[in-house]
Homo-oligomer: A and B are copies of this chain.
Amino acid sequence: MSDTSAPARGAATLHDVAREAGVSLATASRVLNGSTRKVADSYRERVEAAAEKLGYTANLSAQATARGTAAIVALLVADIADPYFGQLAAGVARGADEAGLVVTIAITERDPQREVRLVRALRGQRPRGLILAASRTEGTDAAGLDAELQAFTNMGGRVAVVGPGGGSARHVALDNRGGAAALGAELARLGYREAVVVAASEGIRTSDDRVAGFTQGFASGGGSVREVRRGGFTRDAGYETAQQLLADGLPEGTVVFGISDVVAIGVMSAIRDAGRQVGADIAVAGFDDIATGRDIRPGLTTVHVPLEELGYRALHAATDPEWDATEPPLPLEVVVRGSTPARA
């Protein structure tokens, strides 16, 4: 057990391993990394033993510069503390792990300028793929972003965007419109006739699609959307928007559709803080079905989106050379909970 030569400074290099095993660099490289195996077993064993003994770990950076591309997938999200992105990221991480890829993460903070900057920075890593899950923000410097994305694909990277998006990127789409329509229809069936929607700024596709879908579905069931108030995609935006709504007067029996669960939860809190009741008094519905929706009371009616699976698919869209763009879209499903009780 006498460790003779624990490398004092710096990690063990392939060179060290080769020397220790008494073989050439090439041979060591082949057994430790190269895919196509064709090394004599005796050598192979010696190398593996040496590597183990020295605690060798391939220097990914060196490998990357040599190969020209790194075993990395970059993930861009608006806010990693947001459960929506958290669950999505979990799916991405799972897929990456399976594929032997490292996940690099960056936060846009919903700032278009930052987004462009980050894409450019991530480009420096020469990742195999880039996943854009940062709900394309407003004022979007669309041109700048597209240019950056273009540069990325030009150098051989793939980009996948979650949700609607433009350009030549691969999309992992959700049927936002259809899901919202189904939700609207269901609410109408439950007896609601008046709705207000709390959305994000106009121009954000995800928001627009959900608003349009909901409006249509709700109308098809005989209901009508009285108003669309614009806020943002956060819990606080939902809270504040709802506060104003309440101040302006919100009739009993109205259902408020929050563009996302996070927003809807903010709405619920505002309603309660205003001394009103969620459910029988004012109903609330959301979209996404984040885990929290299960634990609040009343439970939040929403459209279930398989977030984790969505992330998993995005990972593949961003890294699989032979990705099947025709794969059927993920099934969305409305789930009714206590926040929208049937109306007499």
Binding site for B on A (CB under 8 A): 6-11, 55, 57-62, 64-65, 68, 70, 79-83, 85-87, 89-90, 93-94, 97, 102-107, 120-126, 147, 151, 154-156, 235, 265-266, 268-269, 272, 291-292, 294-297, 308
Contacts of A121 in B (CB 8 A): 57, 102
Known: A80-B80, A81-B83, A265-B295. 10 other contacts (CB 8 A): A11-B126, A61-B62, A61-B64, A81-B90, A85-B86, A90-B107, A93-B107, A97-B107, A102-B106, A104-B104
- Chain B residues near A82 (CB, 8 Å)? 86
Question: CA–CA, A81 to B87, complex, Å?
Answer: 5
Chain B residues with Cβ below 8 Å from A83 are 81, 83, 86
Q: Is the CB of A106 within 8 A of B107?
A: no
Can you list 13 pairs linking A and B with CB atoms under 8 Å apart? Answer: A9-B154, A9-B156, A10-B68, A57-B120, A80-B90, A85-B86, A90-B107, A93-B106, A102-B125, A103-B104, A103-B105, A269-B295, A292-B295
A89 nearest CB across to chain B (Å)? 5
Number of copies of this kind of chain in the complex: 2
A70 and B81 contact, Cβ closer than 8 Å, known pairs A93-B105, A151-B55: no
Closest to A79 in B: B90
Of the candidates B61, B120, B235, B265, the one whose C-beta lies within 8 Å of that of A70 is: B61
Whether the pair B296, A59 counts as a contact (CB closer than 8 A) is no
A308: B residues at CB distance < 8 A = 81
A266 CB contacts on chain B under 8 angstroms: 295
Min C-beta distance of A65 to chain B, whole Å: 4
A263 to chain B, nearest CB (A): 12
Which residues of the partner chain B approach A62 to less than 8 Å between Cβ atoms? 61, 65
Give Cα A189–Cα B63 distance, bound, in whole angstroms.
61
Chain B residues with CB below 8 A from A107, complex form: 90, 93-94, 97
Complex: A11 Cα to B126 Cα, angstroms: 9
Q: Is A124 touching B81 in the complex (CB atoms < 8 A)?
A: no
Residue pair B295, A268 in contact (C-beta under 8 Å): yes
User: How many whole Å from A338's CB to the nearest CB in chain B?
Assistant: 11
- Which residues of B are found within 8 Å of A81, using beta-carbon distances? 83, 86-87, 89-90, 291, 308
The answer to whether A155 and B11 touch (CB under 8 A), given A86-B86, A272-B297, is yes
Complex formed: what's the CA distance from A97 to B108 in Å? 10
Shortest CB-to-CB span from A217 to chain B, Å, is: 27
Which B residue sits closest to A88, measured CB to CB? B81
Q: If A10-B68, A90-B107, A103-B105 touch, does A60 touch B292 (CB 8 Å cutoff)?
A: no
Closest residue on chain B to residue A102 by CB atoms: B104
Q: Smallest CB–CB gap between A158 and chain B, Å? A: 15
Chain B nearest CB, measured from A264 CB (Å): 10
What is the CA–CA distance of A291 and B82 in the complex, to the nearest angstrom?
10
Taking CB atoms, residues of chain B closer than 8 Å to A291 are: 81, 235
Is A61 touching B65 in the complex (CB atoms < 8 A)? yes
Chain B residues in 8 Å Cβ range of A102:
104, 106, 121-122, 125
For residue A279, give the distance in angstroms from its CB to the closest CB of chain B: 11
Cross-interface CB contact of A11 among B9, B57, B123, cutoff 8 Å: B123
| B58 and A124 within 8 A (CB) | yes
Q: How far is the CB of A343 from chain B (nearest CB, A)?
A: 22
* Cα–Cα distance between A156 and B82 once the two chains are bound (Å): 34
